[in-house]
């Protein structure tokens, strides 16, 4: 188990260190930006993941950029969606996805690492083929 009190996750983007964090205000920003209701969705996780799997690749990437932006704004209030998107390339997308997913999951979980959650069948941000 990772530290259940850990909320800040470092990420290097364009050669600069940033900090990802998902307090409730970041989740609200994410919900507002994406239209998805992470906190109020009563559906089982499998159904939510299935919805994500059926999104276009572009929409999946947009979700990733929105999550990156929402996670950065707490410690970097000058961050914009445009700036967050400028950090994401096909070559670093999976790395960014992993760090964002771990930070987001830490805000929701009891200190389980992303790897432990994946072993339990969870992977909140996995890009999936259409």
Domain membership of residue 68 (yes or no) is yes
pTM: 0.76
Residue 1 confidence class, pLDDT cut points 50, 70, 90: very low
Residue 130 confidence class, pLDDT cut points 50, 70, 90: very low
pLDDT value of position 5: 75
46 versus 118: the higher-pLDDT residue is: 46
pLDDT value of position 17: 97
Domain membership of residue 91 (yes or no) is yes
Q: What is d(CA 55, CA 72) in angstroms, rounded to the nearest whole number?
A: 24
Instruction: Give 3-state DSSP helix, strand, coil % of the chain, rounded to 5.
Output: 50, 10, 40
Domain membership of residue 3 (yes or no) is no
Domain membership of residue 126 (yes or no) is no
- What is the DSSP secondary structure assignment for residue 125, as one 8-state letter? T
Range of the domain at 43: 9-119
Domain membership of residue 86 (yes or no) is yes
Kindly tell me the burial class for residue 121, based on how many C-beta atoms sit within 10 Å of its own C-beta (0-12, 13-18, 19 or more): exposed
Domain membership of residue 20 (yes or no) is yes
Domain count, the chain: 1
- pLDDT digits 0-9 by tens, 69-117: 999 999 999 999 999 999 999 999 999 989 998 898 888 755 444 455 5
Q: Cite the beta strand spans of the chain per DSSP E.
A: 9-13, 16-20
pLDDT value of position 123: 57
Residue written as token pair 């960014």: 96
For residue 108, how many C-alpha atoms fall within 13 Å in the half-sphere facing its CB? 15
pLDDT value of position 36: 86
Q: Are 125 and 101 in contact (CB under 8 A)?
A: yes
Domain membership of residue 69 (yes or no) is yes
Domain membership of residue 4 (yes or no) is no
pLDDT value of position 124: 52
- pLDDT digits 0-9 by tens, 16-63: 999 999 999 999 999 999 988 877 777 776 777 677 778 888 998 999
């Amino acid at each position: 188990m990772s530290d259940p009190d850990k909320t800040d996750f470092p990420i290097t983007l364009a050669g600069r260190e940033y900090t990802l964090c998902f307090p409730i205000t970041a989740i609200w920003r994410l919900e507002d930006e994406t239209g998805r209701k992470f906190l109020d969705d009563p559906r089982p996780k499998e159904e939510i993941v299935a919805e994500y799997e059926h999104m276009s690749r572009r929409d999946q990437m947009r979700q990733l950029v929105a999550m990156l932006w929402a996670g950065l704004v707490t410690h970097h209030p000058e961050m914009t969606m445009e700036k967050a998107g400028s950090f994401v390339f096909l070559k670093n997308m999976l790395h960014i996805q992993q760090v964002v997913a771990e930070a987001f999951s830490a805000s929701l979980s009891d200190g389980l690492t992303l790897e432990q959650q994946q072993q339990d069948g969870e992977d909140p941000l996995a890009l999936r083929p259409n």
